[in-house]
Amino acid sequence: MSDALAPRGLGRALETFGAWALAIFWVAPLLYCVWTAFHPPEYATKFVLWAPLSVENFVKAWNAAPFARYFLNTFALVTMVLAGQLVLVTLAAYAFARFEFIGRDIAFALVLVQLMIMPDVLLVENYLIMAQLGLVDTILGIGLPYFASAFGIFLLRQTFKGLPKELDDAARVEGAGVLVTLWRVYVPLARPTYIAFGLVSVSYHWNNFLWPLIVTNSVETRPLTVGLRVFTAIEQGVDWSVITAATLMSCGPLLIAFLLFQRQFIQSFMRAGIR
Amino acid sequence: MSKARATIYGWLLLGPAFVLLAAFTHWPAIATLYHSFHSTARRNRPSVYVGLDNYQGMIDDPVFWQALINNFWYAVGTIPVSIGLALLMALWVNEKLAGRTWLRLAYFTPTVLPMIAVANIWLFFYTPDYGLFDQIRGLFGLRATNWLGEPGTVLGCLIVMTIWKEAGFFMIFYLAALQSMPPNLAEAAAIEGCGRWTFFRRVTFPLLMPTTLFVLVNAVIGAFRMVDHVVALTAGGPNNASMLLLVMIYDVAFRYWDVAYAATLTVVLLAILGTVALIQFVVLEKRIHYR
Amino acid sequence: MTVSKFGRRGFVAGGLAMAGAAKLAAPALAQGQTRLNFYYPVAVGGPITKLIDTMCADFERENPSIKVQPIYTGSYQDTIAKTLTALKSNDFPHFAILLSTDMFTLIDEDVIVPFDDSDQAWIKSFYPAFMENSQAEGKTWGIPFQRSTIVQYWNKELFKEAGLNPDVPPKTWADQIEIAQKLTKRDASGNTSQWGMQIPSSGFPYWLFQALTTQNDVRLMNPEGTRTFFDDPKVVEALQYWMDLSMKHKVHPTGIVEWGTTPRDFFERKVAIMWTTTGNLTNVRTNAKFDFGVGMMPFGRRGGSPTGGGNFYVFKKANAAERAAATAFAKFVTQPERAAQWGIDTGYVAVTPAAFETQRMKDYVAGFPAAAVARDQLPLAWAELSTHDNQRVTKALNDGLQAGLTGAKSAQVAMAEAQREAQRLLRPFQR
């Protein structure tokens, strides 16, 4: 935006310095991860320039837990949740945006309740429900409470409401049904909102810990976060070398993906509905 | 479309989402309320109605008050700073600073690192004497500090971690909003001799208000939900100095098996979140002009 | 939630292939297959899971009618949480390893059954210290399996530097202060570069504190688990001693000392003497780049340590055949030869005196004398703090200890408050 008002001279130098100083602090944990993961344990707390390199920590971490499986579980979980959310949220948001139905305001208020009261807060009751449904220790059980996202409904409703109603009518005139109109007209136009919501959803479930910890029991269902907790159980003393190697292995793919696609990612995100 | 048809369509579309909402939000919330008025079943002692006993017990429980106060400071410490930093980051990476791509990536990294995994890395940062912070402080001849082991510093340490985790994530939203602002605004302002700060205060910031609201909602939720690092690092210690509400609920429910008391605490958390939501959507929405 | 505690990962000296091990006197089992779910508190994939897998396979070979399915459930805390929730569903464990201190909780939840007392020879074969929190109401509810105690580790090089005899650790409480003072190094500005000793106090300080109270000759609870004695003057005195180490004598770091980084502090020569679990033996042996000693902790009024670690429990939901099969498994893995090998492979204390009499254990101890320290301390050991509503009572004590150690309260006040809270919690059980 502000090329015309961009800082110059000393101000610019200072701001660049500030930005970089902050960035170094922000990336410090990752830098430490890389340093420690690639060096023998003696160098976990000492930073000597010519310390010998080693990949042994990765071998140890890899053998200590089925990371490939955990990664797969997390991937399945995140994909499933996002897919479920997109479908349910689209339908609900459309109903709120374009239909004046009886009970709409109450229904909308009831949806907004979940904006603040997420399933995480209702751990105990939700566990009991999952046990009754027989969904404890399943990936579906981790994801199901999040399928109907009030956040998504709220966001998408705003976007849908912002679209001109004439588009709707035009489609109707051509004989398109409700779902066809939604699919052909609304969904494509709301793409930026979907991307914004997708980011929130993926990062939330990628990082979610407490609920999956409670509801999973086995390797076949545990997501990465719960698997990584194995290394944070520190009764034998922390082994930073192995922990960092495990962290890098499990977060590496996502980091690399962001590095490669960040330009496209920000650009499509840019036009998202929330502004 | 007639009202009757609209109602049928409306509820059909809303149905699937509503069923799940009812099953995993409304029903559990009501069940929580119900359980908070009953005792926990134990051997030979089935659950009975106890009125407000659980609430009385909670009011008498000093740990509850401490958790509540801690959670208040945790929210006050994390919300404004993480939003402010997010905005600052967004402004920086929106400009053509040297290495903009790398800056963006650096600010964004915490988002992909699960808190439970980085907790141990931060443990190294905070370790007295040879931990990273103390190594740096040592260069200036400062004394070693037991960051996580003193009641006075532990909550601050956890707040720093939360800010670190959240600011980069919020930055993305601000960045998206900034990039979609018409550049001619700044040009016009420059021609009129408007300063950079004035422009930010009078134009940019008000235009970012909807984003700020959006981010604020997320930050408030985070202040009550982000407890993974507390669980991993301090478990609420030392002597409850870092105890937060959700950590306490987890302890009471899954360590002490006191379902009734856990429900009572949950009701309090629900009440807080509900009130915050109400304030945000009633008061703030009036002031913000959606486009 | 505290992290699970006590050692559980050791290095693997060799497999558990013990061909020709004594044949098990298998009880009469119901015809057909008996399938058992066995919850085990360890992370998936570590060396211990391989040992357990082998153990189950060996057991199945000798008892073809029984199938044991080990399920690795993470830390002790996670395991008991999962056990209690799973027992409410249809997919439940038949037996499990859980903390010995969970006994009263499990009795109160009405989920475990006592072991058959008919085989008294077996029940009596364990160290009495381990049986203290395995028995209640005249019955045996738990069978010791992966058990540990606390010992002191010291850095012999730092002892030499300080002009001390590297082979003699502190023998008494008074001794300990004197030696730790010599081992504490400060620079001109008052910054401490090396501490004399440290006792970790994060997460579950009550366990290490119990070493101090045991040495001060005072019990923390009655055997029935219905009363605590946190405000006993000797308990207060023990806490005062711990507080004095850092506040008065300045030989121990101030504030809460992190359990997880304590071994690393030791490796980094930041501290000369540390108290921690025997379960850390293998870790120290692998990572300490200096000569170190392992010994019994010093004597106050007496010597000693609390025991720690996990027991076998059999659940009520299992039917008669399943209970019998689970008991048979517990018998199988605690016979002397197997218990000895288990101790050697993992660093846990072998649970019976007979295990220490086996040739294999004798050879091991001869090559690595530190392994015998825990055994020698056992006759002085007492049961770990365990009461009804155990987690909460323990938390009351933990909070009191941390309040004292961070200087928020005096030892007297902190323990009085902990006692009051514990008393409140235990009142329903004092019929």
Q: What is the ipTM of this complex?
A: 0.84
Which residue reads 């809460």 in tokens?
A: C256
- Whether residues B150 and C84 touch (CB distance < 8 A) is answered with no
Per-residue pLDDT of chain C (431 residues; tens, 9 = 90+): 333 333 333 222 333 333 333 333 344 444 568 899 999 987 655 667 788 999 999 999 999 999 999 888 777 877 888 888 778 777 789 999 999 999 999 998 889 999 987 788 999 999 999 999 899 988 999 999 989 899 999 999 999 999 999 999 999 999 999 999 999 998 877 788 899 999 999 888 999 999 999 999 999 999 999 999 999 999 999 999 999 999 999 999 999 998 888 999 999 999 999 999 888 887 888 889 999 999 999 999 999 999 998 999 999 999 999 999 999 999 999 999 999 999 888 878 889 999 999 999 999 999 888 888 988 999 999 999 999 999 999 999 999 999 999 999 999 999 999 999 999 999 988 87
Q: Are strands C34-40 and C95-99 parallel, antiparallel or unpaired?
A: parallel
Domains along the sequence of chain C with CATH: 34-148+307-380 (3.40.190.10), 149-306+385-429 (3.40.190.10)
- Whether residues A63 and C45 touch (CB distance < 8 A) is answered with yes
Q: What is the pLDDT of residues B20-65, one digit of tens each?
A: 999 999 999 999 999 999 998 877 778 889 889 999 999 999 999 9
Could you tell me which chains touch chain A, where touching means 3 or more CB pairs under 8 A?
B, C
**Is residue B43 assigned to a domain?**
no
Tell me what pLDDT residue C118 has: 75
Q: What is the pLDDT of residues B159-194, one digit of tens each?
A: 999 999 999 889 988 888 887 778 788 778 878 877
* Percent of chain A predicted with pLDDT > 70: 90
CATH superfamily of A65-224+250-270: MetI-like (1.10.3720.10)
Could you tell me which chains touch chain C, where touching means 3 or more CB pairs under 8 A?
A, B
List chain C residues with CB under 8 Å of A64. 43, 45-46
Gap between the Cα atoms of C226 and C387, Å rounded: 6
For B287, other C-beta atoms within 10 Å of its C-beta total 9
- Whether residues B149 and C203 touch (CB distance < 8 A) is answered with no
B246-277 burial by CB neighbour count: b if 16+ within 10 A, else e?
bbbbbbbbbbbbbbbbbbbbbbbbbebbeebb
CATH number of the CATH domain containing B261: 1.10.3720.10
List chain B residues with CB under 8 Å of A270. 175-176, 179-180
Higher pLDDT, C8 or A101: A101
pTM: 0.86
Q: Count of alpha carbons within 13 Å of C100, Cβ hemisphere only?
A: 28
- Render C41-80 in DSSP notation, one character per residue: -S-TTSHHHHHHHHHHHHHHHH-TTEEEEEEE--SHHHHH
In B100-129, the residues whose Cβ lies within 8 Å of chain A are: 101-125, 127
CB-based contact (8 Å) between B251 and chain C?
Answer: yes
Residue A221 to chain B, least CA–CA distance (Å) = 17
Q: What is the pLDDT of residues B249-286, one digit of tens each?
A: 988 988 888 889 999 999 999 898 888 877 776 765 56
Q: What is the dihedral of CA A215, A218, A219, A220, to 10 degrees?
A: -80
- Whether residues B235 and C203 touch (CB distance < 8 A) is answered with yes
- Of C336, C310, C312, residue with least CA distance to C18: C336
CB-based contact (8 Å) between A219 and chain C?
Answer: yes
Domain borders along chain A are 65-224+250-270
- What is the chain B residue with the closest CA to A177? B9
Q: What is the DSSP letter of B236?
A: T
CB-based contact (8 Å) between A264 and chain C?
Answer: no
Tell me what pLDDT residue B55 has: 95
Tell me what pLDDT residue B42 has: 75
**Is residue B14 assigned to a domain?**
no
List chain C residues with CB under 8 Å of A214. 81
Residues A193, A274 contacting (CB under 8 angstroms): yes
Gap between the Cα atoms of A103 and A105, Å rounded: 6
- Whether residues A235 and C277 touch (CB distance < 8 A) is answered with yes
- Token pair of B169 as six digits: 């994530």
Residues B186, A4 contacting (CB under 8 angstroms): yes
**Is residue B259 assigned to a domain?**
yes
- Render C170-182 in DSSP notation, one character per residue: --BHHHHHHHHHH
- Render C139-157 in DSSP notation, one character per residue: EE--EEEEEEEEEEEEEHH
Tell me what pLDDT residue A136 has: 84
- Whether residues B117 and A251 touch (CB distance < 8 A) is answered with yes
Tell me what pLDDT residue C26 has: 42
Higher pLDDT, C5 or A216: A216
Q: Count of alpha carbons within 13 Å of B165, Cβ hemisphere only?
A: 28
CB-based contact (8 Å) between C88 and chain A?
Answer: yes
Contacts of B278 (CB under 8 A, 6+ apart): none
What is the total count of domains within chain B? 1
- Of A239, A238, A207, residue with least CA distance to A225: A207
Side chain identity at residue B86, one-letter code? A
In 3-state terms, what secondary structure has residue A230?
A: helix
List chain B residues with CB under 8 Å of C191. 143-144
Which residue reads 């000759």 in tokens?
A: C217
**Is residue B16 assigned to a domain?**
no
**Is residue B47 assigned to a domain?**
no
Q: What is the DSSP letter of C280?
A: G
List chain B residues with CB under 8 Å of C3. 235
Residues B10, A111 contacting (CB under 8 angstroms): no
Which residue reads 């970790």 in tokens?
A: C200
Containing structural domain, residue B211: 62-287
